[in-house]
Amino acid sequence: MTTQLSTDKIKNLYEQDFYLWLEITINQLKQRNLVKLDWHNLIEELEDLGREQKHKVESYLRQLLKHLLLYQYWESQKLYSAEER
């Protein structure tokens, strides 16, 4: 049913109903129906997904470094306080 849509209608779906566009695109990929695939928007979505994942990793690494620096600071403060006694 949904695979009978023309290429232009599938491209318009991307703007109007992203979830339906996604379902149709996934179905087309599963069926290896590459002729009517909305290549432009599919590539754009994959690039966005890659950037998003890279950003998440960078963010997690930044957060980890902050925590490690804080931990190092706290440990040095404990040593400093113990030496003063």
Quick one: 52 and 33 in the same domain?
A: no
Number of domains within the chain: 2
Name the residue range of residue 66's domain: 45-85
Who's near 31: CB < 8 A, 6+ residues apart?
A: 3
pTM: 0.70
Q: In which band, very low, low, confident or very high, does the pLDDT at 19 lie, cut at 50, 70 and 90?
A: very high
Considering the domain architecture, whether residues 25 and 60 belong to the same structural domain is answered as: no
At 4 the pLDDT is 66
Indicate whether 2 and 31 sit together in one domain: yes
- Angle formed by the axes of helices 39-84 and 7-16, nearest 10°: 30
Report the percent of the chain where pLDDT is more than 70. 94
29 and 60 assigned to the same domain = no
Q: What is the pLDDT of residue 2?
A: 47
